[in-house]
Amino acid sequence: MKKRTGVFVCHCGINIAGTVDVKNVAEELMKHSNVAHSEDYVYMCSDPGQKLIENSIKEHSLDSVVIACCSPNLHETTFRNCAKAAGINEFQCEIANIREQCSWVHKDKLKATEKAKKITHSTVERVVKNKSLEPISIPVTRRGLVIGGGIAGIQAALDMANSGYEVVLVEKSPSIGGHMIQLSETFPTLDCSQCILTPKMVEVSKHPKIKLLTYSEVQEITGYVGNFKAKILKKPTYVDPTKCTLCDECIDVCPIVVPNEFDLGLTGRKAIYIPFPQAIPATFTLDIANCPGLLPIACGKCMDVCEPEAINYDMKPEIIEEEIGSIVLATGYDLYDKENMKEYGYGKYADVLDGLQFERLLSASGPTMGEVLRPSDHKVPKEVVFIQCVGSRDPELHCAYCSKICCMYTAKHAMLYKHHVPDGQAYIFYIDIRSGGKDYEEFVQRAKEEDGLVYLRGKVSKIFEENGKITVWGADTLAGKDIEINADMVVLATAMRPAKGAEEFAKKLKISLDKDGFLSEAHPKLKPVESVTSGLFFAGAAQAPKDIPEAVAQASGAASKAIIILSQDQLFHSPMVAKVSLNLCTGCGMCVDVCPYDSLSLKDNKAEVNEVLCEGCGTCSATCLRAAIEVKNITPVQIYEMIDASVGG
């Protein structure tokens, strides 16, 4: 059947018209037997441009349109809505990209014009065979899931819950709070980290809309936007939080001491423990990996002393299944593994610390109650060397990226050290000072001027222990000389890495990671919190190194994106999905294996498409040896015609 297609060629100012003779493209396409109307206009996406398309559709009784303009990523929705407003099916509107794929990459106007004609012509061939389709509607489970209970996860969960939606917050450790709860004071205002975070933690624990699952891990997520199913493993804590009175008796009798994760090994903890006094939920956890054993009971002392009988050795791992509409992923960060930083003696010398350990030393609730003391001999260090970019900005050996927060926290560390030890001396080795952010530059200047920090531009070549001192060899590239400092303590600003296990987790969820292992957002500028899987959003340092204000802002952004889904009565899915020709299908199942969205399955020895899961990527169609599966509106016949139009006459 012959169609009445309209072709609309956009100038995009001179973006297209500068390299492509747009009038010529419009004239040439008019010759096509299926083209009933064609014209050009300076900005098709402008309001008058859209009006022009709408009016032409009505005036010329068009049944399909091709807009030759920028990438469909940008204005496909605009023009499809425009087509719909003019009364034709929105899937009878296709974009011919003559900007990114033509005018922007060519200089020769004659050749670029020819190419633009071919691109537009091939799109006309496609639209001629387009079917009118209706979006697939899907219901929504109005419930959110937040994975990760650090500041980003807490903020996202609170925002979603305060908007009236139920939220499941899953945290793998026994308490929420993440790394922020370990910090002493925060730059640039120097307010106490615990003091500003604990109110939010309490709000989470008391919120009627938040279901908090700590000591739990998401094992599997199936389903699709609006209709996910999460399988969550809740590990046994062996302590009933409703009975536990936090009397501490169990801690006193427990014979096992292991390094305390909360203090990064600067102190010890028992096998039964509460991570920190303000932990949420406020309860003890029996760390089974370090307990002498429950099967059979090897020790049993904690149970013996527990008066409220809160300890229950028979607790079993639980699998909790939750139905979810949208998900925020806030799996956070870890510091670069000290195994990789042997050249700085980290892990070898007790007085070489990383930034988080130093935070604990500074913290009023830390192992030294806020006094800065050397872990080796508990003396006050008089000379402290801070080294920035440890593992960051080192593409050859370590991480190529900038960890972003280290300049600021090192300035803060050195400043706080000087506040604690006014007669001490702080040296900072740096490559550049990156202090972009509200009040950040002023903070660094204050550290330099008021607190007398010595900033040395250069790298450290070697660190070794000698006569109870830590000798640091480095270079001051501004003065052009070598430097040797006999320090009492060294603090390394180690690089931020995606949290351990995040890679494996991302693979399970089929989320792509960037080259450094951080979560890969759907668009670096315009979709910074979205993943490529719809309904799944990112918050915090899992996506890239960030400081607290940024993590909080992104968390609120991700929460609002998640709420957009939860607030819909129903969602619409593109109808450009795969379709099986049952008589050609032999049921080999190769399409099932290759489908990145798990939308295919075998039923009665034939492939079957779950249309809601299908994203129309066409991998199945490309894999099928029998051409038995194709994507609607981009079928092999259409592709064939498009190739013919592109390479042929």
Partner 1 sequence: MVNLEEIKKEAKKILEEGKVKYIIGYAKSSNALMAAPTFVKKPEDIDKLIWDPTCFQNLVKFLIDEKRKKAREKEPDTRPIGIFVKGCDSRAINVLLQEKFITREDVYIMGLSCEDVGVLDKKKIFKKLKGEKPEKIEFDQRKNIVISTKEKTIKIPLKEILAERCLECTSSFPVISDVFWGDRNNRSPKEPFKCLEQIESLSQEEKWDFWQQQLSKCIRCYACRSVCPMCYCDECVVDSINLAITADTTAEEKAQKIKWIEKSPESSENFGYHLVRAMHLAGRCIDCSECERVCPVDIPIRFLNKKLEKVTKELFDYKAGLDPEQPSLVSSFKDEDPEDFIR
CB of 514 to partner 1, least distance (A): 15
CB of 587 to partner 1, least distance (A): 5
Q: What's the token pair of residue 591?
A: 């399409």
CB of 624 to partner 1, least distance (A): 9
Q: What's the token pair of residue 219?
A: 């094992």
Backbone region of residue 19 per phi and psi (left: phi > 0; alpha: psi in -120 to 50; beta: other values): alpha
Distance, CA of 531 to CA of 534 (rounded, Å): 7
Nearest to 526 by CA among 25, 44, 75, 51: 75
Rounded to 5°, angle at Cα 233 from 232 and 239: 125
Q: Judged by CB, which is closer to partner 1: 1, or 295?
A: 1
Q: Judged by CB, which is closer to partner 1: 108, or 644?
A: 644
Give the distance, in angstroms, between the CA of residue 150 and the centroid of all CA atoms in the same chain. 14
Q: Judged by CB, which is closer to partner 1: 318, or 593?
A: 593
For the chain, count helices (H), then strands (E). 17, 34
- DSSP 8-class letter at 628: -
Q: Judged by CB, which is closer to partner 1: 468, or 596?
A: 596
Contact 237, 285 (CB under 8 A): yes
CB of 507 to partner 1, least distance (A): 9
CB of 599 to partner 1, least distance (A): 15
Contact 491, 386 (CB under 8 A): yes
Complete DSSP assignment for 482-546: EEEEEESEEEEEEPEEEPTTHHHHHHHHT--B-TTSSBPPSBTTTBTTB-SSTTEEE-GGGTS--
CB of 630 to partner 1, least distance (A): 8
Nearest to 258 by CA among 273, 241, 244: 273
Q: How many CA atoms lie within 13 A of 302 on its CB side?
A: 30
Q: What's the token pair of residue 80?
A: 């499809």
**Crossing angle, helix 440-449 and helix 406-420, to 10 degrees?**
40
CB of 585 to partner 1, least distance (A): 10
Contact 513, 408 (CB under 8 A): no
Q: Judged by CB, which is closer to partner 1: 137, or 586?
A: 586
CB of 639 to partner 1, least distance (A): 9
Q: Judged by CB, which is closer to partner 1: 489, or 585?
A: 585
CB of 593 to partner 1, least distance (A): 4
Distance, CA of 457 to CA of 445 (rounded, Å): 15
CB of 632 to partner 1, least distance (A): 11
Q: Judged by CB, which is closer to partner 1: 41, or 597?
A: 597
Contact 121, 24 (CB under 8 A): no
User: Which residue type, as a one-letter code, is found at position 289?
Assistant: A
Distance, CA of 443 to CA of 408 (rounded, Å): 8
Task: Give the Cβ contact number of residue 45 at 10 Å.
Answer: 17
CB of 595 to partner 1, least distance (A): 9
Distance, CA of 104 to CA of 344 (rounded, Å): 48
Contact 445, 434 (CB under 8 A): no
Q: Judged by CB, which is closer to partner 1: 1, or 298?
A: 1
Distance, CA of 631 to CA of 437 (rounded, Å): 47
Contact 384, 425 (CB under 8 A): yes
- 308 Cβ neighbours under 8 A, 6+ residues apart: 243, 244, 245, 247
CB of 33 to partner 1, least distance (A): 18
The SS3 call for residue 451 is coil
CB of 504 to partner 1, least distance (A): 12
- CA-based end-to-end distance of the chain: 22
Q: Judged by CB, which is closer to partner 1: 407, or 629?
A: 629
Q: Judged by CB, which is closer to partner 1: 400, or 584?
A: 584
Complete DSSP assignment for 44-79: TTSHHHHHHHHHHHHHTT-SEEEEEES-HHHHHHHH
Contact 47, 78 (CB under 8 A): no
Nearest to 568 by CA among 141, 84, 136: 141
Q: Judged by CB, which is closer to partner 1: 304, or 593?
A: 593
Q: Judged by CB, which is closer to partner 1: 59, or 134?
A: 134
Q: Judged by CB, which is closer to partner 1: 245, or 586?
A: 586
Q: Judged by CB, which is closer to partner 1: 194, or 635?
A: 635
Nearest to 179 by CA among 408, 335, 371, 354: 335
Strand 210-213 relative to strand 166-170, pairing? parallel
Distance, CA of 548 to CA of 552 (rounded, Å): 6
Give me the residues that bind partner 1 (CB under 8 A), please. 581, 583-584, 586-591, 593-594, 602, 605, 623, 625-627, 635-637, 640
CB of 2 to partner 1, least distance (A): 14
Q: Judged by CB, which is closer to partner 1: 305, or 590?
A: 590
Q: Judged by CB, which is closer to partner 1: 256, or 594?
A: 594
